[in-house]
Amino acid sequence: MKAERVQEILARFPQTHIMTLGDCMLDQWVWGRVTRISPEAPVPVVDVHSYSYTAGGAANVSSNLCALGAQASLIGVAGKDVQAKQLKKVLKEQGVETKGIIADPERPTTLKTRIIAHHQQVVRADLERKDQIQPRTADRLVEYIASLGVDARWLLISDYDKGLLTPYLVEKIFALARRKGFSITAGPKPANIGLFKGAYLVTLNEREASAAYGRDIDDEATLSKAGETLRRRLEARGVVITRGDKGMALFPEDGEPYSIPALASQVFDVSGAGDTVIAVATLSLACGADLREAVWLANNAAAVVVRKVGTATLTREELGAICQE
């Protein structure tokens, strides 16, 4: 892309409102160092020196949107617990609108605790429930989305398969989108992919795409077949398959498949890179980019966040800078 076109799209970010619906999580980071092995079991003992918290799952998508200067509303479910309070605190500090997070006292807020020593993850512990939400909770979520103003023309659905995105809820969301005229992008899990038929754009990593296709993607031929098959099955304007150090592949409704090589980058952590990809692609589309431009910008954004430790975000300035490299 030409520099002028990049700046034209980036300049529209602050005037754009993106709704995000999905599984809300809190990431807890326990930082320390290892000095010995436990006498109780052959495991390292981590001397903890600090804690930090970041938004995870769909909440990280909203964090990415706000970091890029956009207006972001997060819609989902959390518990009535200390984790929910901490998650909302993190999000509000970043500027994310959290009124759409419905409290469900029957399920805990998903918490992922990562213990980091010497910049290496030692272990991760998850606290979560994955049973499906009740229809009454789904109805409250739909009502909230319906109440948002006409400036919210794009809904990003971030699926982590934690029980939020039930067939009942997704069917109602797509029906609402048809009535109100907003577009949907989605990052589905393979088990739920059939629910997202009719989305404007669907993003999957290569492992997820293999599972959704029903066959391993092990060469360019199977990649092409999988991408085209999934796009037709979903009736999407485009399907993106992210491929790690091999870059990304876009399969558009109109035109030939479009492959983008990965940027040369020192990778520290891929946590949350998929969140960044769909956030930037959706935001770019909302700002007038075509599919190729949106995916190209998302590929550049991913190259920034994988250089950072943890579920990281990037700014408009960082995205603009890497697009000039």
Rounded average pLDDT over 7-23: 97
**Is it the case that residue 184 has pLDDT exceeding 70?**
yes
Band (159; pLDDT cuts 50, 70, 90): very high
Q: Is 218 a residue of the active site?
A: no
Band (288; pLDDT cuts 50, 70, 90): very high
Q: What is the pLDDT of residue 310?
A: 61
Catalytic-labelled residue, pool 23, 27, 104, 275:
275
Of 156, 134, 163, whose CA–CA distance to 25 is shortest? 163
Q: What is the pLDDT of residue 1?
A: 86
> What length does the chain have?
325
Q: What is the pLDDT of residue 68?
A: 97
The answer to whether the CB of 58 falls within 8 A of the CB of 20 is: yes
Distance between CA atoms of residues 205 and 31, nearest Å: 29
Q: What is the pLDDT of residue 269?
A: 45
Domain 3-24+59-108+129-323 falls under CATH 3.40.1190.20: yes
Contacts of 218 (CB under 8 A, 6+ apart): none
Among the residue ranges 14-28, 261-275, 280-294, the one predicted with the least confidence is 261-275
**Is it the case that residue 218 has pLDDT exceeding 70?**
yes
**Is it the case that residue 266 has pLDDT exceeding 60?**
no
pLDDT in tens, 46-92: 999 999 999 999 999 999 999 999 999 999 999 999 999 999 999 99
**Is it the case that residue 220 has pLDDT exceeding 60?**
yes
Domain segments of the chain: what residues?
A: 3-24+59-108+129-323
pLDDT in tens, 100-112: 999 999 999 999 9
What are the backbone angles phi and psi of residue 107, rounded to the nearest 5°? -135, 145
Beta-ladder partners of 187: 158
Q: What is the pLDDT of residue 316?
A: 94
Distance between CA atoms of residues 67 and 60, nearest Å: 10
**Is it the case that residue 324 has pLDDT exceeding 90?**
no
Rounded average pLDDT over 143-172: 93
